[in-house]
């Protein structure tokens, strides 16, 4: 399943594929728009979701 973020600056939708969520979003704070190349803050709920995906994929070690 892919996720969509909309650019705060130009409104361009950006599809986020699952492996990008899992590998990148849980540690990243912003993502660059592919249209206007400005940084967008990654919403907290997406970061939390990404962290859950990462934990499920690699196993919990807490």
Which residues make up the interface to Zn ion (CB under 5 A)? 7, 9-10, 12, 33, 35-36
For Zn ion, give the closer residue by CB, 14 or 55: 14
Tell me how far, at minimum, the Cβ of 30 lies from Zn ion, in Å: 12
Decide if 33 contacts 12 (C-beta within 8 A): yes
Please name the residues in contact with 2: beta carbons below 8 A apart, sequence gap of 6 or more: 15, 16, 17, 18
Q: Tokens 């995906």 belong to which residue?
A: 53
In this complex, which beta carbon is closest to Zn ion, that of residue 11 or of residue 52? Answer: 11
Judged by beta carbon, residue 35 or residue 56, the one nearer Zn ion is 35
């Amino acid at each position: 399943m892919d996720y969509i973020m909309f650019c705060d600056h130009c409104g361009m939708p950006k599809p986020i594929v699952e492996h990008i969520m899992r590998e990148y979003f849980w540690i990243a704070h912003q993502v660059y728009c592919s249209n206007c190349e400005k940084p967008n803050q990654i919403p907290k709920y997406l970061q939390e979701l990404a962290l859950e995906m990462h934990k499920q994929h690699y196993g919990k070690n807490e």
